[in-house]
Copies of this chain bind each other. A is one copy, B any other.
Amino acid sequence: MNLITLNSKYKKNSLEEIIEWLSEDLNKVNKIILDLMSNNLPLITDVSSYIISSGGKRIRPLLTLICSKLCNYSGDRHINLAAVIEFIHTATLLHDDVVDNSKKRRGKKTANFIWDNKSSILVGDYLLSKAFRLLINDGSLKCLDIISQTSTRISQGEVKQLMSTKNFCTSEAQYLEIISYKTAELFSAACRVSAEISEVNEEKKNALNDFGKFLGMAFQIIDDTLDYFPKDNMTGKESGNDLKEGKITLPIIICYKRSNKREKKSLEYLISKENLKKIDFLNTIELMKKYNVEEDCQNKAKHFSIMAKDSLGVFSHSSEKEKITKLTDFLIERNY
């Protein structure tokens, strides 16, 4: 597992601080993941090790761990549940990359590019089933309910997204629904299960549910904005992928809505093209700059991140809460 290497001369960011703080738990999560991947068919081990270790930020399992701390949870079920969340996330990544026909993710070749689509589909199926196996071992019908609902929603969100491809009729409201399903649900489940095992009151359960949901919305808006406006080229993926794939995300929705007739026509032409050129992308960026799209997207993300933080109002002040707040800010201000 590639955790970010910490260098003492270097000022840590909030994510790195939290990773260090939770390193003991994170190592246990990694151990479960590694154990489940080894002792398996070579293709399953190879593909799943590759994707799991390919440098994701591991935000989702981290949320399960950190929310457990916030709820003063003292058992060890959060470890298993964090691994489940990461497995489900990984399964969706494998299938997403096939659906999007992606060649790169986080600057590394995608599994479907190195192996093939077949392997990615089947190993994705395996990881999803394995996630449910792990979850059943935990034995909580409530957590099963939360996570299976999430898994259904994720695929519905992906289908909604597929149906909106190249379709400028997609509204901002529809976009928000798509990202709520495909991204925010899993963030929400990652936080909610911690509340569930901690047996905090219903109010706190709902608070963590909402926190995860709003954070997920903010996270995805930032992701979609970075695809048009990468910072320091640290996203690891080439920018402009969404436009190339005809994916209708917030920046292009806002840009289109604000465009005049001529600009609208030109955007419609662009999105319908098979092979987008660099200049097409640059022209789109110019148009987005004219309409202040980047800043407005960031503000919309901030709007959700503020709702996320306010959801935690029911928890009294603690160092754990402060860390979660800092993590939330970091995820919105991140440049990768």
Interface residue ranges, A against B (CB under 8 Å): 40-44, 92, 95, 98-99, 117-119, 121-126, 128-130, 132-133, 136, 139, 141, 144-145, 148-149, 151-152, 154-156, 158-160, 162-163
Once the chains bind, are A126 and B155 in contact (CB under 8 Å)?
Answer: yes
Nearest CB to that of A41 among chain B residues?
A: B159
- CB neighbours of A122 from chain B (8 A): 95, 99, 155, 158-159, 162
Q: Tell whether A149 pairs with B133 under 8 Å between CB atoms, given A99-B122, A117-B117, A144-B144.
A: yes
Q: Which residue of B lies closest to A152 (CB)?
A: B129
CB distance from A66 to the nearest CB of B (A): 26
Residues of B within 8 A of A43 (CB): 159, 162-163
A151 surroundings in chain B (CB, below 8 A)? 125, 129, 132
Given contacts A43-B162, A43-B163, contact A155 B125 (CB under 8 A): yes
CB distance from A296 to the nearest CB of B (A): 29
A126 CB contact (under 8 Å) in B125, B159, B163: B159
B residues less than 8 Å from A117 (CB atoms): 98-99, 117
Q: How far is the CB of A222 from chain B (nearest CB, A)?
A: 24
- For this chain, the copies found in one complex come to 2
A132 CA to B128 CA in the complex, in Å? Answer: 11
Q: For the complex, would chain A's binding face be called helix, strand, loop or mixed by DSSP majority?
A: helix
Which of A40, A42, A129, A154 gathers the greatest number of chain B CB atoms within 10 Å?
A129
Cα(A145)–Cα(B121), bound, Å = 23
Contact yes or no, B141 A139, CB < 8 A = yes
Taking CB atoms, residues of chain B closer than 8 Å to A98 are 117-118, 121
Which of A117, A132, A141, A154 has the largest count of B CB atoms less than 10 A from its CB?
A: A132
Nearest B residue to A47 via CB reads B159
Cβ contact within 8 Å between B123 and A152: no
12 pairs from A and B in contact (CB 8 Å cutoff): A41-B163, A42-B163, A43-B162, A117-B117, A125-B158, A129-B148, A129-B155, A133-B148, A133-B149, A139-B141, A141-B141, A144-B144
B136→A144 contact, CB < 8 A: yes
Which residues on the B side are within 8 Å of A144 (C-beta)? 132, 136, 144
A189 vs chain B, min Cβ distance (A): 12
Contacts of A145 in B (CB 8 A): 136
A298–chain B nearest beta-carbon distance, Å:
30
Contact B123 A95 (CB under 8 A): no
Task: Indicate if the CB atoms of B44 and A159 lie closer than 8 Å.
Answer: yes
Contacts of A136 in B (CB 8 A): 141, 144-145, 148
Q: With a CB–CB cut-off of 8 A, which chain B residues contact A42? A: 163
Q: How far is the CA of A124 from the CA of B155 in the complex (A)?
A: 9
Q: Which residues from chain B contact A40 at a C-beta distance below 8 Å? A: 156
The 8 closest A-B pairs by CB, nearest first: A126-B155, A125-B155, A129-B151, A129-B152, A132-B148, A99-B118, A122-B158, A122-B159
Complex contacts, A132 vs chain B, CB 8 Å: 132, 144, 148, 151
Least CB distance from A305 to B in Å reads: 28
Chain B residues with Cβ below 8 Å from A118 are 98-99, 162
Complex alpha-carbon distance, A133 and B125, angstroms: 16
**Contact A156–B44 (Cβ < 8 Å):** yes
